[in-house]
Amino acid sequence: MSDDSENQALTLENLVKVIGMSKALTTHLYDIDPSLERSLKAKRLIESAMLPYIELQKEMRTKISQTTITEFFNRRVPNQDAPEPAQPSTSGNTGSSHLSDCESEWSGFSDNE
């Protein structure tokens, strides 16, 4: 068997299953073996044998959840059809007509009344 076909079957999903099976095996041995010493020894050996797969599972999970810095940037493409946003007026006339309206209203009142 080539490494490529082996790697294709060694998915995160399969690793989760295999690691779960090894835990179930150690639990089952602990439950059925009257010798605590023997079942604990078997558990340590099974866990030791599974370490490379547990580490590989952690690496695969990290790789899946790891974000790249470019994911934080949004690429903005200017829309050629959209009108340009309105810019503030620089004419200096802003609000002057409103001010003159108010002045004309007050000019009708005299201080002599």
Tens digits of residue pLDDT in 28-38: 999 999 999 99
Three-class SS state of 87: coil
Tens digits of residue pLDDT in 53-68: 999 999 999 988 877 7
Residue 24: per-residue pLDDT? 98
**Residue-wise over 29-56: b if at least 16 C-beta within 10 A, else e?**
beeeeeeeeebeebbeeeeeebeeeeee
Spatial separation of the C-alpha atoms in residues 63 and 61, rounded to whole Å? 5
Mean pLDDT of the chain: 79
Predicted TM-score (pTM) of the model is 0.52
